[in-house]
Structure 1
Amino acid sequence: MTSNAPLILAADIGGTNTRVALLDGTVLRAQTVTRYQNAKSSGLEDILRHYMDAQRATPDAVSLALAGPIEDGSGRLTNLDWAIDADSASAATGGAMGVLLNDLQAQGHALPFLAPDALKSVQRSDEASKDAPCLMIGIGTGLNVAPVHRIGTHTYVPAAEAGHISFSARDAALGAFEDDLEARLGHVAAEDIMSGRGLERAYRHVTGQDLPASDVMALCGNGDQNADTAAGLLIRALGHFAGDMALAHLPLGGIYLVGGVARALLPYMDQHGFRTCFADKGRFSGFMAQFSISVVDDDYAALVGAASYAQECLGAT
């Protein structure tokens, strides 16, 4: 622990739960990690006040990573009707400097601090460069991407809403799934298929039955053929999507898949041809071998990344 590191209060705000922790710079105080159920709180300020009362700390900054778009220091969660702004967070934490970033941006800021065993390899490449851009692809409640650029001593992670681009099937089975969704949804966005909800829709498409995504993956682990078929639809779609994003951003520093759905699908990626779909780029197929791909398995990465961003904003790096 660095004695002069700023004390950062970081929050990882999802649609269902919010996790809050204190960090000395980017060093997590593990005993301070607290999880709150959003449904039991009136808003983020309520959570922050309860946390401050419990910790009796005086943070130098509060950094909020939220699952939704941010504009001019405020944001709204995509899957929860909470409006969040930096000034309110600052007031709730005793006047600490408040900063906001998208949760996937926070994952990008966490990359330099990930332990080697937190990265599960999907595709290795000898041509990966630590100085080249990286790309985060988040697949969980929704889908999004965030390119990561290291510029001098600073990390720049621009926001995106790539989960809402139009989906385009590349095989007959995905085409039938897309047609099914289009009949019910109209426009089919990428995250309508590549997300937890997408897995539930895939299972419904295969079986005609509704089942939570966690139950679908449990069945998949038990060898259920229908669940395996549903997971395969997502994996192939994700392979094609990741390949498209790789060509758009050229992340020769690596592609990093994050989120609960990405972790759940990892054991089945090879058997369902993720890398084959990723490389399905015609005359550029050979080029796709240059990209290393990993799944990130670190529950606290967004907290560390949010703290790193706040530290840069404080000018303490």
Structure 2
Amino acid sequence: MLKYPDTDHQPFPILIGDIGGTNARFSILIDTYAEPKEFPILRTADFAGIEDAIQQGVLDKTSIQPRSAILAVAGPIHSKEIPLTNCHWVLRPADMCASLGLEDIVVINDFEAQALAVASMSDENREEIGSVGKVPVASRVVLGPGTGLGVAGLVHVQRRWIPVSGEGGHVDLGPRSERDFSVFPHIERIEGRVSAEQVLCGRGIVNLYRAVCKADGVKPALSDPADVTAAGLGGNDAVAVETLSLFATYLGRVAGDMALAFMARGGVYLAGGITQKILPVLKQPEFRAAFEDKAPHSALMRTIPTFAVTHPQAALAGLAAYARTPTNFGVATEGRRWRG
């Protein structure tokens, strides 16, 4: 029997959380019409687990007691225990209901939350990369280079938005140009393969920088993603400059692949802190050229818009939209919802 998503409202106030490998962001939505009450960003490494973080970073700082929670986490959700991919936290929602006094908890993938955010994102919260004209109400894709490379689709069907999570960041990434063939042999591999995430994330920037250095016989002078990024943007390190240019090219290729996979006529959205930091590079011709270079479908690709997400708390905004009007979204909650 076909099982439809559980679309009934959770009881307000609702605790909303976006938990990544490095940072955790929380807010509380008091009711359908209120703006979320936000709290300072927390570093996951500073807390033994999510319950400690919520207690110290949220509940100890407000008199509002949430009755339910919607949490987006960076990791697969397959059991009663949910380990985060790049963090030591393990979520046990049933235990959280008891320890935090919650009646209802929904846990979804972090990039599902990013996908929810772009369903109705306003112009002031996004910046177009290239220009293709009017953006249709149609399926979309979100990519986010950060601690890893997150990917999610947002399918539009029968007037509802259905987020589709997956592990698209781990698709193969291979050489194409002559320069690629000189650089790729030096990219660090995982079990013999180069995945997109090996290059298109924070540590990937360093991986790519070192590969360019080895290809050119240059001793690496930088070892931190922020330093490589700053040097590339500043133009005072030729290897770092090329690293960011190649990063934009490879991101454009993967973004184009995902646009084809989802037929994302509604656009491809680049989320995350890295995107915002290197936006000047992404607005250079390399990203869009790589995105559109998908023969025999290059003409189609030229009609698909690409955006940088500039909303500072996009995932929380997406979760809040779902919390307000769950019937507008086809969020699958089977096996991902716990009631106290």
Would you call these one fold, judging by a TM-score over 0.5?
yes
TM-score by length of 2: 0.83
More helix by share: 1
Cα deviation for residue 312 of structure 1 reads 4.8
Relative to structure 1, the CA distance from residue 71 to residue 40 in structure 2 (aligned partners, 3 Å threshold; closer, same or farther) is same
Matching residue of 1:123: 130
Inter-partner Cα distance in structure 2 for 1:99 and 1:140: 24
Matching residue of 1:215: 227
Q: Which amino acid aligns with 1:271?
A: Q
Is 1:161 paired with 2:167?
Answer: yes
Q: What SS does the aligned partner of 2:129 have?
A: strand
Cα deviation for residue 122 of structure 1 reads 0.5
Cα deviation for residue 7 of structure 1 reads 2.2
Q: Which amino acid aligns with 1:192?
A: Q
Which of 279, 288, 293 is the equivalent residue of 2:306? 293
Deviations 1:199-246 (A, max 9, x none): 111222233424211111111222122211111111111111111111
Relative to structure 1, the CA distance from residue 302 to residue 73 in structure 2 (aligned partners, 3 Å threshold; closer, same or farther) is farther
Asked if the contact 1:203/1:227 (under 8 Å) is kept, the reply is: yes
Inter-partner Cα distance in structure 2 for 1:202 and 1:185: 18
Relative to structure 1, the CA distance from residue 185 to residue 230 in structure 2 (aligned partners, 3 Å threshold; closer, same or farther) is farther
The 5 Å alignment of 1:1-20 reads 6-20=12-26
Between 1:302-311 and 1:42-51, the stretch displaced more is 302-311
Matching residue of 1:111: 118
Is 1:99 paired with 2:111?
Answer: no
Cα deviation for residue 76 of structure 1 reads 2.0
Cα deviation for residue 95 of structure 1 reads 1.9
Q: What SS does the aligned partner of 1:157 have?
A: strand
Inter-partner Cα distance in structure 2 for 1:110 and 1:270: 22
Relative to structure 1, the CA distance from residue 74 to residue 133 in structure 2 (aligned partners, 3 Å threshold; closer, same or farther) is farther
Name structure 2 gaps, 5 residues minimum.
1-10, 214-218, 330-340
Relative to structure 1, the CA distance from residue 164 to residue 184 in structure 2 (aligned partners, 3 Å threshold; closer, same or farther) is closer
Relative to structure 1, the CA distance from residue 247 to residue 113 in structure 2 (aligned partners, 3 Å threshold; closer, same or farther) is closer
Is 1:230 paired with 2:243?
Answer: yes
Which of 131, 135, 140 is the equivalent residue of 1:134? 140
Which of 256, 260, 278 is the equivalent residue of 1:243? 256
Q: What is the total number of aligned residue pairs between the two structures?
A: 311
Cα deviation for residue 261 of structure 1 reads 1.6
Inter-partner Cα distance in structure 1 for 2:191 and 2:267: 34
Asked if the contact 1:154/1:312 (under 8 Å) is kept, the reply is: no
Matching residue of 1:280: 293
Inter-partner Cα distance in structure 2 for 1:180 and 1:69: 31
Is 1:190 paired with 2:202?
Answer: no
Inter-partner Cα distance in structure 1 for 2:113 and 2:33: 12
Deviations 1:130-166 (A, max 9, x none): 1x11111111111122111244564310110011112
Deviant stretches of 4+, over 4 Å: 151-154, 182-185
Deviations 1:39-86 (A, max 9, x none): 221100111222223222222321111122222465321111221133
Asked if the contact 1:28/1:304 (under 8 Å) is kept, the reply is: no
Matching residue of 1:67: 74
Relative to structure 1, the CA distance from residue 97 to residue 307 in structure 2 (aligned partners, 3 Å threshold; closer, same or farther) is farther
Q: How many percent identity over aligned positions? A: 31
Relative to structure 1, the CA distance from residue 274 to residue 55 in structure 2 (aligned partners, 3 Å threshold; closer, same or farther) is same
Inter-partner Cα distance in structure 1 for 2:317 and 2:284: 33
TM-score by length of 1: 0.89
Q: What SS does the aligned partner of 1:100 have?
A: strand
Between 1:72-81 and 1:34-43, the stretch displaced more is 72-81
Matching residue of 2:216: none
